[in-house]
Amino acid sequence: MINGIIGKKVGMTQLFAPDGTVTPVTVIKAGPCVVVQKKSAAGRDGYDAVQLGLVEDRPVKLKNVTKPMQGHFEKTGAGTPPTRVLKELRVEGDGEVSVGDKVLVDQFAEGDPVEVVGKSKGRGFQGTVKRHHFNRGPESHGSMNVRKPGSIGQSAYPSRVIKGTRSSGHMGDRRVTVKGLTVARVDAENNLLMIRGAVPGANGSVVVVRKVAK
């Protein structure tokens, strides 16, 4: 079976229980997805996986797809429409999967443990205080070292800055996996998945929700 689904982050909201308990959740429009390609351990791929395509409200016009990708979708032989988002997910356990099969949000249930993979928000070039949570220097008595990183190397030995030294640089905009999340509610009619807690990425960004063993 396919252990996950592709979706887009909608935003955060709250769920209220009958006793008044408030649960912060992230709403994800998950799927519908279609199986575009199948890989098997017996073939040249060497592992069992599927390539999923996220079916969006606005379909992709064939003229806007490159010729190599047109051939990729036509090679499936299932008449699957071109999709903007393609992700590969492993196939685990029993169950036959074929090209053209739909993957819907109803595979999840309330209380299922999941992990979400997405791309974090890009923060641009940032200093060490914001990027690595360095402490600030004194701001009184004429101090000139308020937000500077301080010493980053030695003069005698090794006379260079060691690789991996925390410093200023590009922050965010990288692949992030958040584990330990649970499904709070499933709206199969509207393809909505509500996950307890926060997930990476800005609103509208693509995320992958994967099931994990309890």
Query: For the whole model, what pTM was predicted?
Result: 0.81
The SS3 call for residue 71 is helix
Same domain, 97 and 53: yes
Long-range contact set of residues 65-74: C-beta below 8 Å, sequence gap at least 24? 72/36, 72/37, 73/36
pLDDT at position 95 is 65
Domain hosting residue 131, numbered range: 126-171
pLDDT at position 75 is 74
Domain count for the chain, please give it. Answer: 2
The whole-angstrom separation of Cα 20 and Cα 194 is: 18
Same domain, 57 and 102: yes
The CA-based dihedral angle spanning residues 180, 164, 124, 13, taken in that order and rounded to the nearest 10 degrees: 10
Same domain, 111 and 137: no
Same domain, 14 and 84: yes
Same domain, 95 and 9: yes
Same domain, 89 and 8: yes
Locus of tokens 């079976």:
1
Helix intervals (H) in the chain = 67-75, 128-132
Tens of pLDDT along the chain (214 residues) come to 788 899 999 999 998 988 888 989 999 998 788 888 888 877 787 888 888 888 887 777 777 888 888 888 877 666 667 888 888 888 876 667 777 778 888 888 888 899 999 999 999 999 999 999 999 888 888 888 889 888 888 888 888 999 999 999 999 999 999 999 999 999 888 889 999 988 999 999 999 999 887 6
pLDDT at position 1 is 74
CATH code, domain with 199 = 3.30.160.810
pLDDT at position 25 is 92
Position 177: which residue type? T
Same domain, 155 and 78: no
